Structure 1
């Protein structure tokens, strides 16, 4: 994983679900920006209930009015079966507002049923147990001391069992993240590795070599989990209300040390286009308060909490239109002749895991265990 993939211990304690599909009905021009809804549009939103989107709503507004702990990240993750993007709401969409304990409200609409006969893939070439490699130190996602090895480990295990119950496999913890993609997959010592963030491979020409090779040398599964990355500036600054990344050119950005930067590279937010500062997480907010940086950017869930702890909510504005989604995957080397067959098994099982609702329960239990410990 390397340091660029190890930031998740503090950020994932409160996260909830991930499903994928799109919404329906007429498009609303609202986004995560601070669009002010009229009085007639502000309907009561309560935890453990549902809410129907009206014109002028934004995800952050709905989360705020319902006092959703974790803000729009948690609300988005609870509704990704409906929302294709955190920046796009559609009039008439019915959002589930999480309960106090993190569970979802019961609705009259039944969950989609799994396919009657899930794929049972058993290529002749897969006549031995498949070998997965992961590592500890990334709770609640992967941690050998946790129940089932962490929630991503549980997801991978269940995806294999659902995708092909006849295929034997093993999951081994090797606590040297750097070796996974650099040595263990290319050499064939292991077949697959997880969890790894995937850069925007459509912009691979903008990526540094250590990030570009995730696109050029590996294939990947469907997303197992996603995170929203937010951008924040002082209210009224020259960057407040920016709608495109080039509007940040010339700015001083603070991204906490040990966090990935491939998303910044993809949008050309690198030196000398911008000035990048990397310091401990909370120091970013002090630098912003003192005018020593213009923008703070990292995972929205801890950022919102850190912003509150820093006592700066009244003076900081979210640059909502720049919010991005970053996703965690299983990787396989492109040199592996059976790589496509491996991905078929994983993806078939993951889809069934989502449709059954078991994915959400694994996430809830993983977060609960981390918080209690």
Structure 2
């Protein structure tokens, strides 16, 4: 049975000074209030007890100023439980007044920034979505808030691979989004394609932390996998142009697995349905929509023990001086977007539109 967001295991890093939390029932709480994390809490249980629409993902998005990951809870953390209309309770840290520090400027503000994205990545970027999708809306508002005098154009260039391979390196565009950043402090552990994301580009602050899930057919040999080592020997599919650095870190590379990729994002689930792959893994939000579109809700199992997170950013070539000088505009605007509460409203509206469609 496809389980979507019904539960979430908590992985806690004791080395970071966090307390290990054993899954247990969350205390009763109400929407539009604050909740203090106690031992035994998991984010999904807190969201369920408060009837938060969208479950743990909505609750996590509402508390990114407190939570580093949906998998990490710390006793004593105070979480804002969203109100029925999607707003946050009065006094939530996210609804404070943003800094009035002067907006940064670029060295040549008369020249418009060329910012590229692509379509077919709902709810994040898609030409058919309102405002071009969640992160497209965030980028536009961040530019407007960061420096209203800086002109910019957001362009949909639907060959995803060209963004990092040619468009940014040649200066055909100045920025590209949304791209995922590896752990660049450990670049020596990355394969060449993943390391290239660190060595050739600089990055904005994170716009959104995505949840990466693993899926298999219910009843398959991998349905009870508890660690990535349990996938050794599997045929694993991830869409083309997606990052692989998390797979590399988990040693899910040849010859431990047979790696399969497809051009179409939802092509992996067709291969799973046809028995040509054993496991599918990519961003949980579009993956869940692809499962529904394929009519596979009752035949796909989510391997929740393997769930991970990565963050999406704007990338700029290290050789593009103008783009690097403009990055502070994006970062300043993004900070204001988060402090004002507009960031969360964009997330909530975008996810709701995806579910309704």
| TM-score of the two chains, using structure 2 as the length reference | 0.76
Q: Does 1:62 align with 2:46?
A: yes
1:64-91 C-alpha deviation (Å, 9 max, x unpaired)? 4445454433322222111122222122
Of 109, 112, 116, 1:133 maps to 116
Of 272, 275, 283, 2:255 maps to 272
Q: Provide structure 2 residue ranges, at least 5 long, that are not aligned to the other structure.
A: 6-16, 262-266
State the partner residue of 2:103: 120
Per the TM alignment, residue 304 of structure 1 is displaced from its structure 2 partner at its CA by 7.2
Relative to structure 1, is the Cα distance of residues 300 and 73 closer, same or farther in structure 2, using a 3 angstrom cutoff? farther
Q: CA RMSD in A?
A: 3.6
State the partner residue of 1:74: 58
Q: Distance in 1 between matches of 2:126 and 2:190?
A: 29
State the partner residue of 1:351: 335
CA contact (8 A) 1:159 1:353 kept: yes
State the partner residue of 2:132: 149
Q: Does 1:94 align with 2:82?
A: no
1:190-241 C-alpha deviation (Å, 9 max, x unpaired)? 2111221222323434444333322221111011111112357889989755
Relative to structure 1, is the Cα distance of residues 366 and 280 closer, same or farther in structure 2, using a 3 angstrom cutoff? same
Where 1:96 maps in the other structure, the secondary structure is: strand
Where 2:35 maps in the other structure, the secondary structure is: strand
Per the TM alignment, residue 311 of structure 1 is displaced from its structure 2 partner at its CA by 6.2
Per the TM alignment, residue 349 of structure 1 is displaced from its structure 2 partner at its CA by 1.0
Q: Distance in 1 between matches of 2:147 and 2:200?
A: 26
Per the TM alignment, residue 96 of structure 1 is displaced from its structure 2 partner at its CA by 2.8
Alignment of 1:167-206 (within 5 A): 167-206=150-189
Q: Provide structure 1 residue ranges, at least 5 long, that are not aligned to the other structure.
A: 1-13, 15-25
Where 1:213 maps in the other structure, the secondary structure is: helix
Of 207, 217, 229, 2:212 maps to 229
Where 2:169 maps in the other structure, the secondary structure is: coil
State the partner residue of 2:147: 164
Where 2:170 maps in the other structure, the secondary structure is: coil
State the partner residue of 2:264: none
Q: Distance in 2 between matches of 1:63 and 1:240?
A: 25
Relative to structure 1, is the Cα distance of residues 277 and 195 closer, same or farther in structure 2, using a 3 angstrom cutoff? closer
Of 292, 297, 318, 2:304 maps to 318
Which one is further off, 44-53 or 54-63?
44-53
Q: Distance in 2 between matches of 1:133 and 1:302?
A: 20
Q: Distance in 1 between matches of 2:309 and 2:196?
A: 20
Per the TM alignment, residue 49 of structure 1 is displaced from its structure 2 partner at its CA by 4.2
CA contact (8 A) 2:175 2:315 kept: yes
Q: Distance in 1 between matches of 2:223 and 2:146?
A: 51
State the partner residue of 2:20: 29
Q: Distance in 1 between matches of 2:222 and 2:355?
A: 36
Relative to structure 1, is the Cα distance of residues 229 and 142 closer, same or farther in structure 2, using a 3 angstrom cutoff? closer
Q: Distance in 2 between matches of 1:280 and 1:241?
A: 22
